[in-house]
């Protein structure tokens, strides 16, 4: 069965099925369903004033909230009631969205607000957002007080010889009990930022002395040499104040309604009209820019995905989880601080005409000092996301001939839907491209195939199924469960394979959704070996985009949209990839494995469960004994590798820093800690610089060499044990 109608029975509106809600730009195929509703032709006028000027709730917001509440109750996969549990979660989510570091609200503010903690569900059913408006106005008053306090504290003398600490782990931070505690918290915050700027300046001077100030891979983000760090902070807090006072009614509605929807699961959210328009631009890939999906978190603009083939992906220096702190235009333009700036405004600054240069101040997700990364904007095309192949040799076989590996880099599962719908004979798709690559590999006499999904965040489910079919004869690839509990099995129905030899699938914590379906199916069938991080991302749910204008007015009006979780994936053997992902058969060290960016790390992620196994024929190309031998051989090589030894030290340092709840504000200790991080980062930058000009498909380093070694061990084991016959 083909998933041609996957999910279309669930929502009577315009629906876009998505295999990975956090990686919008990688969804290169959509299933569109349009059902006209009998509804009023007229649309309520939409005004969007700043929240501080609002005297009452907009009538249209009342309608939007009611409709969202009804859809959540009727169609969300969890079937969770809109009850006090959801109300408590939504209350916490809303406050966290406003004040994640608990710098602004006081404890008595929270006590007052908690009187409404049980009522958020009732407010939603009635379409009432007075609580959100009054809470935000209380918050804005506290922002005015704290920012005034910050400006005063910036100009004070600070003693950096005192051994005091500041909490950096949100879970250990408490709201200040009174204005005195709030002032002390702000004082420590100012000291922390001043020390950070001092550390940046020291590092910049050191790099300049070493002749590294024009480093291609990264340049340290520091204030101008003639600019007082205190003025940098004054400017930053002026931006904070301006940002919050610019909050408009649409933004508050989005924050408030999303606090409710993300209390069901982290991928269900409300999009305001502006956010929806940005989403559609990204979905169409009709955009000049850097090719990255952004979100706002804790006042920072955070990268949530890198578009395969986009400018950022080709550059290679930006990573998921990096935070953008400033943006500059061209080679000579100044850098504008974007901390606490509206996300839409940041996006507009980063977007631009293809061929122009944008500079980004970035705090790396892996730790270390801030950097300036310059990227030339570019258009995104399907070719940039396409599969690429290369034959790589790894030593000699017993007969003296070279051992050849066919390596396939697959950044997404793509399909040219327009050409496919037009019944074109040569439409572009993942399966077609990989089939052609495999044909070339067979002519080259390869001994094994490596399929690299380590940076593949998903895409077309149809292509994930069809591509799996190139390696299995036929049978179930994925099972899908809807809110009613009905399970549908989707098969590879085409008999025959394009490659029946040894197969290694590379994965990482960034491999998500459709990637997990393919890797999980290969594992369930015992068809190949999975190598990489301990487990993949763990996103096993499907989202649909419900256009609220369609629901409420039959197409008229611009009301935003609800992205809602409607289905869950299961592997042929019945296990779900949700939260757990696909576990690697052979684990290699990687710093990405330590990042808290998987599905299981998200608040209220849906639980993992199982369905009955589908019927399918397993291969005999992998067994427990074979995997034990491969692990032993790989472990021995990793232990003696200088490259892995350096990586393991970096991982240990990162883990140590990640476990810290507090940071010392004593100058010597603070700078020592920063220098420790920098020492490891310098080496990584040198490696990165040596790789930047190279755009070959396969990049040989200690990690990829171990992949080749595992592949050779596996191929020889299959040959020697004659395990390649299907049962």
- Residue 630 covered by a domain: yes
The C-alpha torsion from 489 through 495 and 500 to 505, rounded to 10°, is: -30
Query: Both 430 and 319 in a single domain?
Result: no
pLDDT band at residue 422 using 50, 70 and 90 as cut-offs: low
Residues contacting 596, CB < 8 A, separation 6+: 658
- Residue 645 covered by a domain: yes
Residue 515: CA count within 13 A, CB half-sphere: 34
Distances (CA, A) of 261 to 128, 255, 425, 551, 603: 15, 10, 43, 17, 12
**CA geometry: angle 217, 222, 226, nearest 5 deg:** 135
Place of tokens 């592997």: 571
pLDDT average, residue stretch 359-388: 81
Lowest pLDDT segment from 147-156, 345-354, 445-454, 488-497: 345-354
Chosen domain end from 324, 359, 379: 379
pLDDT at 569: 95
- Residue 63 covered by a domain: no
User: What does the pLDDT look like over 155-198, one tens digit per residue?
Assistant: 999 999 999 999 988 889 999 999 999 999 999 999 999 998 88
Given a cut of 80, is residue 553 above it in pLDDT?
Answer: no
Q: Which one-letter DSSP state was computed for residue 381? A: -
pLDDT at 558: 78
Provide the domain limits for residue 693.
Answer: 382-543+568-721
Q: How many domains does the chain have?
A: 3
Cβ(447)–Cβ(502) under 8 Å?
Answer: yes
Residues contacting 618, CB < 8 A, separation 6+: 524, 525, 526, 726, 727
Of 346, 344, 307, 352, nearest to 325 by C-alpha is 346
Cβ(270)–Cβ(253) under 8 Å?
Answer: yes
Lowest pLDDT segment from 84-88, 208-212, 335-339, 467-471: 208-212
Cα–Cα distance, 605 to 596 (Å, whole number)? 14
pLDDT average, residue stretch 39-59: 70
pLDDT at 218: 39
Summary mean pLDDT of the chain: 84
Query: Both 127 and 107 in a single domain?
Result: yes
Dihedral sign of CA atoms 436, 516, 468, 21 in order: negative
Chosen domain end from 356, 379, 402: 379
pLDDT band at residue 131 using 50, 70 and 90 as cut-offs: very high
Of 626, 624, 617, 587, nearest to 715 by C-alpha is 626
pLDDT band at residue 8 using 50, 70 and 90 as cut-offs: very low
Cβ(240)–Cβ(337) under 8 Å?
Answer: no
**CA geometry: angle 709, 713, 715, nearest 5 deg:** 115
Give φ, ψ of 240 to 5 degrees. -55, -50
* DSSP result, 394-461: EEE-TTSPEEEEEEEE---B-B-HHHHHTT-TT--BHHHHHHHHHHHHHHHT-SEEEEE-TT---B-H
pLDDT average, residue stretch 350-367: 87
Residues contacting 446, CB < 8 A, separation 6+: 391, 404, 405, 406, 501
Question: How many angstroms from the chain centroid is the CA of residue 709?
Answer: 30
pLDDT band at residue 419 using 50, 70 and 90 as cut-offs: low
- Residue 408 covered by a domain: yes
pLDDT higher at 145 or 457: 145
- CATH (domain of 716): 3.90.226.10
- Residue 40 covered by a domain: no
pLDDT higher at 105 or 595: 105
pLDDT at 704: 96
* DSSP result, 594-618: GSS-SGGGSTTPPPP-B-PPPP-PP
pLDDT band at residue 205 using 50, 70 and 90 as cut-offs: confident
Identify the bridge partners of residue 303 per DSSP, sorted by sequence position.
294
pLDDT at 42: 40
Given a cut of 60, is residue 21 above it in pLDDT?
Answer: no
Given a cut of 50, is residue 473 above it in pLDDT?
Answer: yes
How many Cβ atoms are within 10 Å of 145's Cβ, its own excluded?
16
Is residue 455 packed enough to be buried (19+ CB in 10 Å), middle (13-18) or exposed (0-12)? buried
pLDDT band at residue 29 using 50, 70 and 90 as cut-offs: very low
Given a cut of 70, is residue 3 above it in pLDDT?
Answer: no
**CA geometry: angle 657, 663, 665, nearest 5 deg:** 145
pLDDT at 299: 67
Query: Both 327 and 418 in a single domain?
Result: no
pLDDT at 418: 63
Instruction: Kindly state the percentage of the chain with pLDDT values over 70.
Output: 83
Query: Both 657 and 583 in a single domain?
Result: yes
pLDDT higher at 242 or 724: 242
Q: Which one-letter DSSP state was computed for residue 299? A: T
- Residue 90 covered by a domain: yes
- Residue 3 covered by a domain: no
Query: Both 468 and 592 in a single domain?
Result: yes
User: What does the pLDDT look like over 208-237, one tens digit per residue?
Assistant: 777 654 443 333 344 444 578 999 899 889
Give φ, ψ of 33 to 5 degrees. -130, 130
What is the token pair recorded at 548? Answer: 């609220």
Lowest pLDDT segment from 252-261, 273-282, 465-474: 273-282
What is the token pair recorded at 188? Answer: 């420590």
Query: Both 363 and 395 in a single domain?
Result: no
pLDDT at 304: 85
pLDDT at 694: 41
Lowest pLDDT segment from 157-166, 216-225, 319-328, 481-490: 216-225
- CATH (domain of 339): 2.30.42.10
Chosen domain end from 324, 351, 379: 379
Cα–Cα distance, 280 to 614 (Å, whole number)? 36
Given a cut of 50, is residue 726 above it in pLDDT?
Answer: no
pLDDT band at residue 367 using 50, 70 and 90 as cut-offs: low
Place of tokens 């950097």: 371
pLDDT band at residue 298 using 50, 70 and 90 as cut-offs: low
- Residue 23 covered by a domain: no
What is the token pair recorded at 396? Answer: 């000699």
Helix (H) or strand (E) holding 218: none
User: What does the pLDDT look like over 284-293, one tens digit per residue?
Assistant: 445 568 888 8
Given a cut of 70, is residue 688 above it in pLDDT?
Answer: no
Is residue 409 packed enough to be buried (19+ CB in 10 Å), middle (13-18) or exposed (0-12)? buried
User: What does the pLDDT look like over 429-441, one tens digit per residue?
Assistant: 899 999 999 999 9
Query: Both 505 and 519 in a single domain?
Result: yes
Given a cut of 90, is residue 711 above it in pLDDT?
Answer: yes
pLDDT higher at 629 or 309: 629
The C-alpha torsion from 143 through 146 and 150 to 156, rounded to 10°, is: 160
pLDDT at 5: 27
Cβ(715)–Cβ(501) under 8 Å?
Answer: yes
pLDDT at 681: 61
User: What does the pLDDT look like over 382-416, one tens digit per residue?
Assistant: 566 689 999 999 999 989 999 999 999 998 898 87
Query: Both 507 and 576 in a single domain?
Result: yes
Instruction: Kindly state the percentage of the chain with pLDDT values over 90.
Output: 60
**CA geometry: angle 133, 134, 135, nearest 5 deg:** 90
Query: Both 586 and 457 in a single domain?
Result: yes
Cα–Cα distance, 182 to 200 (Å, whole number)? 27
pLDDT average, residue stretch 487-507: 96
Given a cut of 60, is residue 617 above it in pLDDT?
Answer: yes
For the stretch 551-590, what's the b/e string if a residue is b when 16 or more beta carbons lie within 10 angstroms of its beta carbon? bbbbbebbbbbbbbbbbbbbbbbebbbbbbbbbbbbbbbb
Given a cut of 50, is residue 63 above it in pLDDT?
Answer: yes
User: What's the predicted TM-score (pTM) here?
Assistant: 0.79
pLDDT higher at 186 or 333: 186
Query: Both 389 and 364 in a single domain?
Result: no
Round the CA-based radius of gyration of the chain to a whole number and report it. Answer: 27
Place of tokens 């991302």: 537
Identify the bridge partners of residue 388 per DSSP, sorted by sequence position.
409
Query: Both 424 and 485 in a single domain?
Result: yes
Of 690, 671, 587, nearest to 632 by C-alpha is 587
Distances (CA, A) of 12 to 74, 237, 269, 485, 547: 12, 46, 18, 19, 10
Cα–Cα distance, 513 to 381 (Å, whole number)? 22
pLDDT average, residue stretch 448-452: 98
How many Cβ atoms are within 10 Å of 254's Cβ, its own excluded?
21
Identify the bridge partners of residue 379 per DSSP, sorted by sequence position.
288
Place of tokens 């061990």: 713
Lowest pLDDT segment from 80-84, 225-229, 412-416, 610-614: 225-229
Cβ(20)–Cβ(282) under 8 Å?
Answer: no
pLDDT average, residue stretch 1-9: 29
Query: Both 329 and 352 in a single domain?
Result: yes
Helix (H) or strand (E) holding 190: helix 179-209
């Amino acid at each position: 069965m083909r998933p041609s109608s996957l999910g279309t029975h669930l929502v009577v509106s315009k629906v876009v099925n998505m295999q990975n809600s956090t990686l919008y730009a990688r969804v290169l195929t959509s299933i569109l369903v349009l059902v006209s509703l009998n509804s009023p032709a007229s649309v309520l006028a939409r005004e969007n004033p700043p929240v501080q000027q609002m005297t009452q709730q907009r009538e249209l917001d009342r309608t939007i909230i009611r409709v969202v509440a009804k859809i959540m109750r009727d169609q969300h996969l969890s079937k969770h009631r809109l009850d006090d549990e959801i109300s408590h979660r939504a209350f916490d989510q809303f406050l966290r969205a406003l004040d994640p570091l608990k710098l602004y609200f006081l404890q008595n503010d929270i006590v007052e607000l908690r009187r409404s903690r049980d009522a958020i569900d009732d407010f939603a059913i009635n379409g009432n957002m007075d609580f959100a408006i009054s809470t935000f106005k209380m918050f804005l008053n506290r922002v005015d007080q704290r920012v005034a306090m910050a400006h005063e504290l910036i100009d004070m003398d600070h003693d950096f010889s005192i051994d005091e600490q500041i909490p950096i782990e949100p879970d250990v931070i408490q709201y200040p009990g009174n204005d005195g505690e709030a002032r002390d918290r702000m004082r420590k915050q100012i000291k922390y930022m001043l020390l950070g700027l001092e550390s940046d300046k020291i590092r910049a001077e050191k790099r300049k002395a070493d002749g590294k100030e024009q480093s291609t891979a990264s340049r340290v983000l520091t204030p101008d040499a003639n600019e007082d760090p205190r003025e940098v902070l004054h400017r930053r807090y002026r931006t904070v104040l301006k940002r919050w006072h610019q909050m408009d009614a649409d933004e508050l509605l989005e924050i408030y309604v999303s606090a409710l929807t993300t209390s069901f699961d982290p991928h269900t959210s409300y999009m305001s009209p502006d956010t929806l328009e940005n989403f559609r631009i990204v979905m169409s890939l009709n955009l000049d820019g850097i090719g990255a999906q952004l979100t706002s978190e804790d006042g920072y603009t955070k990268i949530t995905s890198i578009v395969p083939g986009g400018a950022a992906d080709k550059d290679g220096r930006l990573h998921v989880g990096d935070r953008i702190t400033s943006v500059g235009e061209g080679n000579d333009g100044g850098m504008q601080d974007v901390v606490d700036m509206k996300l839409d405004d940041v996006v507009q600054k980063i977007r631009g005409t293809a061929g122009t240069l944008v500079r980004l101040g970035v705090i790396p997700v892996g730790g270390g000092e801030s950097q300036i990364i310059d990227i030339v904007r570019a258009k995104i095309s399907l070719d940039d996301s396409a599969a690429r192949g290369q034959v790589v040799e790894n030593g000699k076989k017993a007969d003296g001939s070279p051992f050849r590996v066919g390596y396939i880099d697959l950044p997404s599962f793509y399909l040219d839907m327009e050409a496919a719908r037009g019944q074109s004979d040569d439409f572009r798709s993942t399966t077609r491209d990989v089939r052609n690559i495999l044909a070339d590999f067979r002519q080259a006499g390869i001994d094994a195939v490596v399929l690299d999904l380590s940076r593949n965040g998903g895409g077309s489910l149809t292509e994930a199924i069809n591509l799996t079919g190139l390696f299995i004869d036929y049978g179930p690839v994925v099972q899908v469960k809807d809110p009613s509990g009905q399970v549908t099995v989707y098969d590879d129905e085409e008999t025959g394979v394009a490659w029946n030899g040894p197969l290694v699938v590379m994965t990482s914590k960034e491999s998500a959704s459709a990637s997990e379906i393919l890797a999980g199916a290969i594992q369930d069938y015992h068809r190949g070996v999975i190598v990489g991080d301990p487990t993949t991302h763990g996103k096993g749910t499907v989202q649909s985009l419900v256009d609220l204008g369609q629901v409420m007015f039959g197409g008229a009006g611009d009301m935003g949209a609800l992205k809602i979780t409607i289905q869950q994936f299961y592997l042929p053997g019945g296990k779900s990839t949700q939260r757990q992902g696909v576990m690697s058969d052979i684990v290699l060290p990687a710093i990405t494995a330590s990042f808290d960016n998987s599905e299981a790390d998200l608040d209220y992620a849906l639980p993992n469960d199982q369905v009955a196994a589908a019927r399918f024929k397993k291969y005999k190309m992998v067994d427990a004994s074979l995997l034990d031998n491969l692990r032993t051989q790989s472990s021995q090589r990793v232990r003696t590798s200088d490259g892995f030894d350096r990586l393991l030290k970096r991982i240990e340092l990162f883990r140590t820093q990640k476990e810290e709840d507090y940071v010392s504000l004593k100058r010597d200790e603070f700078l020592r800690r920063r220098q420790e991080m920098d020492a490891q980062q310098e080496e990584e930058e040198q490696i990165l610089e040596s790789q930047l000009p190279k755009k070959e498909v396969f990049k040989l380093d200690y990690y990829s060499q171990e992949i080749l070694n595992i592949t050779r061990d596996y191929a020889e084991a299959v040959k020697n044990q004659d395990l390649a016959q299907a049962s």
